[in-house]
Amino acid sequence: MRTTVGEVVRLPDRRTAPALLALGAFAIMAALPVVLLVNLAGGDRPAAEPIRPSLVAEEAADPVPVWRPVTARHGGFDVDAPRWRPLGQEVAMFRRSDGLAREVFRFGSAEDARRHAALVVDRGEMAPATAVTDLGAVVSDLGVSATVAPNPIPLATKFGPMQTADMTIDTDEGSKACLGFALRESEAGIRVTGWVCSGGPEIVSRQDASCFVDRLFTVGVRDAAIASLFARAELARLPCPSTPAATQATPVVSERGGRPSPLRLNRL
């Protein structure tokens, strides 16, 4: 079969259809890689979500410290409070999961209509806080139903001025008015908190509260900083009156008076 320049070669009709199909398939195969590359590049489509988002690492939250009771024959502190002991004395020791140690001294019950007092001694590293914050944390730990409000007047004690707070403890028979107090000694790593409550809504005598705090002393504490703190405190301690404190109607000139009593580091 002979052809000349400019003449179009024509395939027989029976080969035209298969040739076109083969050409179309070749074009599709050639375009497929281009489409895949566009999809991988992102294009205008939103970013695909992680296949397993649950495997993404999250910052672990700090565990909440937990208090646990400790069984020990002797603690590092004691409270010699003869005026409060007839109400019933309860002593307990705890250890927190972060290392904080606690000794609790309670006289009377917070739930009835009698007088009540408590002293709590914590040892360890503690973040700075106000008296209201410290007392709020302690009453919460001990399960006491109380409201705490700041009081600007410090309490005179053998340790020096202590921050105070007005407290109200709810009972089945009404409410108790209490005076709370808190002391921080960072160098010694110690915190002293507590409260003194009347049997009802009557205002608490500050003299009673001062004398109650001064009844706290050490028992065989080997920490030099704490021993020095209590030694200085005993030198500054003033005697408490042997008679009940004056009522609210009687003006109180000073919280305590007289000459310092003899040095005491151990229980009498």
**pLDDT, position 257:** 46
pLDDT at 247 over 70: no
**Can you tell me the distance from the alpha carbon of 124 to that of 69, in angstroms, rounded to the nearest whole number?**
16
Between CA 171 and CA 113 the distance in angstroms is 7
Domain parsing of the chain, residue ranges? 67-236
CA distances from 237 to 157, 183, 262, 267 (A): 7, 16, 9, 15
pTM: 0.69
Model confidence band, residue 65 (pLDDT cutoffs 50, 70, 90): confident
DSSP 151: E
* Residue 26: predicted pLDDT: 61
Q: Calculate what percentage of the chain has a pLDDT beyond 90.
A: 53
Better-scored residue on pLDDT, 3 or 31: 31
pLDDT score recorded for residue 74: 74
Which residues lie below 8 Å from residue 42, measured CB to CB, with a gap of 6+?
Answer: none
Confidence of residue 15 (pLDDT cuts 50, 70, 90): low
| CATH code of the domain made up of 67-236 | 3.40.1000
Give the separation between CA 90 and CA 104, rounded to whole angstroms.
8
- What are the pLDDT digits (tens) for 126-174? 888 999 999 999 999 999 999 999 999 999 999 999 999 999 999 888 8
Per-residue model confidence (pLDDT) at position 135: 96
pLDDT at 177: 96
Split at pLDDT 50, 70, 90, the class of 64 is confident
Q: Are 260 and 240 in contact (CB under 8 A)?
A: no
The pLDDT score that the predictor gives to residue 40 is 55
DSSP state of 138: H
pLDDT for 77-134, tens place per residue? 999 999 999 999 999 999 999 989 999 999 999 999 899 999 999 999 888 899 999 9
